[in-house]
Amino acid sequence: MFIHLSKRTSTTKEEVYMLQEHIRNIAIIAHVDHGKTTLVDKLLRATDAFRANQQVQDRVLDSNDQERERGITILAKNISIEYKGIKINVIDTPGHADFGGEVERVLKMADSALLLVDAAEGPMPQTRFVLQHAIAAHLQIMLVINKIDKPAANCEKALNNSLDLMMDLGATDEQLEFTMEHVIYASAVNGFARLTPDDSCDNMFPLLDMIVNELPAPEVDVDAPLAMQCVTIDHSDYVGRIGVGRIYSGTIHNNDKILVVKNDGTSSVAQVKQLYTFDYLGKKECSEISAGDIGAVVGIDHTDIGDVYTDIDNPVKLEPIEIDQPTLSIVFEPSTSPLVGREGDIVGGRQLKERLETERENNVTMRIEELDDKTGVEVAGRGVLHLSVLMEQMRREGYEFQVGRPRVLFKKDEHGNMLEPIEQAVVECSGEYSGKVIEVFGNAGGTMINMKTGATHTHLDFKIPTRGIMGLKTKVLNVTHGDAVFYHTFLEYGPYAGEIGTRQNGAMISMSTDKAVAYALGTLQERGQLFVAPGTECYEGMLVGERSKPGDMVVNIAKTKNLGNQRSSTADIAVQLTPPKTFTLEEALEYIMDDELVEVTPQNIRMRKRILNETDRRKWRVRNGMVDK
């Protein structure tokens, strides 16, 4: 017999639900680079989380190397701070839509949210993505207008735009009224938060005071049967999976025997081996955790997202957690490059499979399955960035592998019609370039849904299939001469949009395995854009450049100048080469075609044909009824 637990919005003396006044659970949500991780830094310092002589790096929550280099939060993190005797559990959420699987789950642990908005830019597209989840979770939202020290800051406009956005996303009157009455003006990088923009306060205490005085405490029943839901999985090589979540009712004790109820309704009995609560930047082992707090449980074998830990005799039923499904997939294969093993220590197919199986244990937002023919492993995620973060991590661990072109995951509706993922894309650019941007999106299957013309910039909103997004950022930056801001986020599954144009220009393909020679490259750069510099190690079938016209071209990158017995007046003039175009991992994935691969090594990212030999490629094209242009 399950007891259904619902969230109360009010409490009276007759009700057993009570406020845990010593706890606040808040999530910090914002667009990429609006300063939420810096804000958390300042809150930690303001509450004496560090010793006076302790050396602490900036953006301490961005502990992952890629997070620090990219300037984005990839993994949601839990910390806690203490202020005036109140424990504040802070959840730093990712701002990029590709990591939305993190956002929607961790918001379930919060009672309220800090919405951080740039005073100059206002709410941005990915603010919409995270804020929509917060509003749907019925969180009370406090607005923090950050970077008020910017010359272009416009606090009033940022406030109005934020409230307008909340209305568009379906915020209730109660949520809107709460946000209007609870606004903080801050400069996280300078370490101050103020009640008005013109205040002279130079510390973070006004923000902390508003959090403890105005944001709601958890409303729970400590004496009810245990109900805790796992929303995040941590992993340890020593104890295995660690379930992290919030206790909604009751108390969980160390060595308790509990009932673990899966999303599909199946259940099993397990014993709690260790309990941890969050204490500043780390975890602290404890003997019990009461309702309203956030904790970590060790000892639940194969625990997963959505698992409910509850009382065996009086089980409590909670709503299952639905995770947004992946929209793109990429196949990982062992490298077959002639240069394999020169840069990486781990090159075998078995090691690649084991590493991805480990990732499947730790990363529930990805779907990882071995192909039926055992030639590779298909990894599905929320976007190119989501997938490339895994690849980047693996290459830093010493792996060499190759991946194919990202493939969109289609669905079918109840009538059998094909559906594909649709994204909302936003471009802000100078008005003189808006026509070219609209043309670029039109060629990629996009449809403009909104256009706002400002004094200096034009704001363009598009709906576009995920297939059309790949490689589009480079085109937008090219037609706007770099004067554009481009963001996109998953919107919905919509009707199949038909065929979309792919890369028009052909590739220059190396005919031999050798080092590139300046003389050969000097001749080739007249035919298109080069990807390699003199001295670069190349191999047969490797992409070394892009032609200025359709159709692939096999080239000799090792060709040298024939020497004669006569000297010309220009014989000693050095070859003048244009710097080659370099690709990030995401750009390479978006650039390649279906018959091409990206080779990923610890030191290089190379693009190549799937079939390296030109004769074999021609035979393959004939067998498949394809005619060379």
Provide the annotated binding site for GTP: 33-38, 146-149
In sequence order, what DSSP letters do the residues of 53-83 get, joined into one string?
T----SSTT--SHHHHHHTS--S-EEEEEEE
Q: Which two tokens stand for residue 551?
A: 């159709």
- The structure tokens 């078995």 sit at 350
CB 300 within 8 A of CB 292: no
Q: At what angle do helices 36-46 and 205-214 cross, to 10 degrees?
A: 90
Q: 472 is written with which tokens? A: 């589009």
Q: What is the 3-state secondary structure (H, E, C) of 524-593?
A: HCCCEEECCCCCCEECCCEEEEEECCCCCEEECCCCCCCCCCCCCCCCCCCCCCCCCCCCCHHHHHHHCC
Express the helix, strand and coil content of the chain in percent, nearest 5 each: 25, 35, 45
Please check whether residue 195 is in contact with residue 155, taking contact to mean a CB–CB distance below 8 angstroms.
no
For residues 477 and 487, give the distance between their C-alpha atoms in angstroms, rounded to a whole number: 12
- Relative orientation angle of helices 173-181 and 155-168, to the nearest 10 degrees: 170
Residues 147, 191: Cα–Cα separation, whole Å = 10
Lookup: tokens for 349: 């197919």
What are the CA-CA distances from residue 479 to residues 344, 429, 499 (Å)?
38, 10, 23
Instruction: Give the C-alpha separation, 162 to 164, whole Å.
Output: 5
- Residue carrying structure tokens 């009157």: 173
Give the residue numbers of the binding site: 33-38, 146-149
| Residue 595 token pair | 């018959």
Amino acid residing at 97: A
C-beta of residue 382 within 8 angstroms of C-beta of residue 365: yes
Please name which of 611, 515, 597 lies closest in space to residue 556, comparing C-alpha atoms.
515
> Could you tell me the CA-to-CA distances from 375 to 334, 350, 403 in Å, in that order?
8, 11, 12
Q: Kindly state the tokens that stand for 344.
A: 């990486």
